[in-house]
Amino acid sequence: MQISTIPTTPYTDQKPGTSGLRKKVPVFQQPNYLENFVQSIFDSLEGYQGETLVVGGDGRYYNRQAIQIILKMAAANGFGRVMVGQGGILSTPAVSCIIRKNRAFGGIVLSASHNPAGPNEDFGIKYNISNGGPAPEKVTEAIYAHSKAISQYRILEAGDVDLDRLGTTQLGVMVVEVIDCVTDYAALMESLFDFNRIQQLLTNPSFRMCMDSMHAVTGPYAHALFEGRLGAPAGTVMNGKTLEDFGGGHPDPNLVYAHDLVEILFGDQAPDFGAASDGDGDRNMILGRQFFVTPSDSLAILAANAKLVPGYSSGLSGIARSMPTSQAADRVAERLGIDCYETPTGWKFFGNLLDSDKATLCGEESFGTGSNHIREKDGLWAVLFWLNILAVRQESVEQIVRSHWQTYGRNYYSRHDYEGVDSGRAHQLVDRLRGLNLKGQQYGAYEVEYHDDFSYTDPIDGSISQNQGIRIGFTDGSRIVYRLSGTGTQGATLRLYVESYEPNIAKQSQDTQEALSGLIAIANEVAQIQDYTGRDQPTVIT
Ligand code: VG1
Ligand code: CO
C-alpha cells in the first residue's frame, strides 16, 4: 500500500467554533475540504507517531465516508492504531471515555451535535486531546492557522475498512480496531452509579420511565443500559434506532424539539420520569410527570445530592458552570463550602479545572451536565445520576426540585434564541452593547450593578479568553446575558439569557416567562433586538 502526498490549496473558512468545525454536508464534500482539515489537525500535533487515535461519530449522513478518509490519513501520517466504533458509531462521551481508558493520544469526533442531519444538513468534526476533552483554544487556533497555509495532505492508497465487523485489520502498518461502541462506556457508568438500586426502581411496576434517543447516537447505549443491564421494560427507549438523518428530526433535547417525549410526559397517565439526549449524546433533558427541570437547576440538584451516589459519595472538590448558566449551582457550592467556577461557553473550558481537581461537576444551561469521569458533557450519565437520586430518595422529580427551591431559592431562568439572523447586524448589536455604559442605570425596579463583556482567565494555565458575552447584572442578583452562537451554520444566532432569583417560597410557582417578563422587556429594549434582528419573537425559547 502506497502513501500519496496530494497537493491542495487552503479553504479560508475552517475556523473551529464552540465545539469543532461545523458546516453543511455539501461544504464538507468539496474537493479536499475534509482532508485539509484533518491534515491541519495532524499538523498541529506533535509526538503521535505510533500512538493510538480514537475515531467515531454520531451516525449522521457522511459519517462513514468521513471515517474512511480519516483512517487512511491517520495511517499515512504515522498513527500506530485507530480504535473506531462499530458502524462508525461513538457518542461524544464514549469517545472521551475510550481515549482515557486506552491512554490514546487523542480522538476525532464526527458530529454536529443537535443540528439536523442529511445530505443538505450539517456535519462536523472535532479533535479531542489525551485527557479525553475538546482541544483547548491554543490547539484549535493552531489547527485554523495550519488550514490557512496547507499545501498538501498525506493519504494511504487502500481499500475501505469494514467498519461493521468487530476486530482488528491492518491499514498499511497501522492497526484498525473496530470496537463495540457501548462496552467501555457502560462499564464506566456501572462504576459510578448504584446499578442494583436503579434496577430495583426500573423493574418496579409502579415506576415508569421514558427515554427519547431522538434517532441519534444514544439509541444503542440506552437500549443496552436501561432495557438491557438495568431491566427496564422493552419500549422504555423510544426513537432508539440511529438513523443517518435522525428521522428528519432535530435531536436537540429541549421542550421544543423533543416534542414526542414532551407530549407523553405532559399527557394523561404520564410516566414518572422522562429523558432525552441529543445527536452526539452529550446533552440531556430531564422531565418529571408534567414537570420540566431546567438544565441549570439540574446541575445544582445533582451537586446537592451527589453524596447519595456512590461515585461522588466522598464529596465534590468544586463545581463549574458556563457564564450564561444560572447561578443556582453557586448557592449549592456556597452551602457545601466549595468553589464555584464561571467559565466561557463550551466544554473545552472545563478541562483544566477537571484535570486539576478544582471541579468535580460541571454544567451548561444548554442541557449539558458532566463530571470528572470523562472530559465531555454526558447525557446518559445525567439520566443515570437522576435515576440514582430518585431510587434513593423515593420522591418524585417535582418533589425533589421543589424542595431544592425551598432550601436554596429558585433561579427563574430562560434562554431566547434568534436563529438565522443577518450576521452583520447581529455583530453590530453586540458591538453596540459593548460600547454602552450602563452601570448605575435604573430600569423600573432594577438597577444595573455591572455591565461588561465577559473575559476569563484560566486559573491553571493563565490563558485569557475575551469577548465571551455581554453581561448586565442588577443589584438584586438578576442578570441578562447576550452572546452569539459559535455552533450555527447559517447566518448568526443571537442568544439572550435571562435570570432572576426568588427566595420566597410563595412566589416559586409562577410561569417562567411571566416571572421573567419584566427583565425580558428590559433585555429587548436595551439591545434593540427587534431593530437589529428584524424579528419580534425568538425562534426558540428554552
Ligand atoms: C452551544 C451551547 C454550548 C455548548 C455547545 C456545544 O454553543 O450554547 O453551551 O457547549 O453548543 O454543545 P453555542 O456557541 O452555539 O452557544 V454540543 O451538544 O453542540 O457539542
Ligand atoms: Co451535543
Give the closest residue to 86 by CA, choosing from 299, 242, 320.
Answer: 242
Contact 349, 455 (CB under 8 A): no
Is 454 found in the same domain as 415? yes
pLDDT of residue 442: 94
- How many other CB atoms sit within 10 Å of the CB of residue 314? 10
Separation between Cα atoms, residue 536 and residue 534, nearest integer Å: 7
Question: Whose CA is closest to atom 18 on ligand 1?
Answer: 113
Pick the catalytic residue from 19, 40, 44, 113: 113
Is 108 found in the same domain as 203? no
Q: Relative to the alpha carbon of 363, which ligand is closest?
A: 1
- pLDDT band per the 50, 70, 90 thresholds, residue 414: very high
Residue 6, C-alpha cell as written in the block: 496530494
Provide the residue range defining the domain that includes 516: 410-541
Boundary-marking domain end, from 149, 181, 213: 181
| Residue-wise pLDDT tens digits, 303-360 | 999 999 999 999 999 999 999 999 999 999 999 999 999 999 999 999 999 999 999 9
Q: Taking residues 264-281, what's their average pLDDT? A: 97
Percentage of the chain lying above the pLDDT 90 cut: 97
Is 496 found in the same domain as 350? no
The answer, yes or no, to whether residue 5 has pLDDT greater than 80, is yes
Is 262 found in the same domain as 376? yes
366 C-alpha to ligand 1 centroid (Å):
7
| Residue-wise pLDDT tens digits, 145-156 | 999 999 999 999
282 C-alpha to ligand 2 centroid (Å):
5
pLDDT of residue 489: 78
Q: Taking residues 157-185, what's their average pLDDT? A: 97
Q: How many domains does the chain have?
A: 3
- pLDDT band per the 50, 70, 90 thresholds, residue 488: confident
| Residue-wise pLDDT tens digits, 181-226 | 999 999 999 999 999 999 999 999 999 999 999 999 999 999 999 9
Q: Relative to the alpha carbon of 91, which ligand is closest?
A: 2
Record the pTM: 0.95
CATH number of the structural domain spanning residue 512: 3.30.310.50
Q: Taking residues 484-491, what's their average pLDDT? A: 86
- pLDDT band per the 50, 70, 90 thresholds, residue 487: confident
Question: Whose CA is closest to atom 1 on ligand 1?
Answer: 487
Q: Is 440 helix (H, G, I), strand (E, B) or coil?
A: coil
pLDDT of residue 490: 82
| Residue-wise pLDDT tens digits, 498-525 | 999 999 999 999 999 999 999 999 999 9
Is 196 found in the same domain as 172? no
Separation between Cα atoms, residue 50 and residue 73, nearest integer Å: 14
pLDDT of residue 486: 85
Ligand 1 first shell, C-beta below 6 A = 18-19, 113-114, 278, 282-283, 322, 345-347, 364, 366, 368, 485-487, 495
Is 173 found in the same domain as 271? no
Is 194 found in the same domain as 288? yes
- pLDDT band per the 50, 70, 90 thresholds, residue 529: very high
Is 381 found in the same domain as 247? yes
Is 210 found in the same domain as 134? no
Whole-number average pLDDT of the chain: 96
- pLDDT band per the 50, 70, 90 thresholds, residue 93: very high
Q: Taking residues 248-265, what's their average pLDDT? A: 94
Contact 346, 291 (CB under 8 A): no
Is 415 found in the same domain as 398? no
Residue 113 designated active-site:
yes
Question: Whose CA is closest to atom 20 on ligand 1?
Answer: 113
Boundary-marking domain end, from 367, 386, 408: 408
Task: List Cβ neighbours of 102 (8 Å cut-off, separation of 6 or more).
Answer: 52, 54, 83
CATH number of the structural domain spanning residue 61: 3.40.120.10
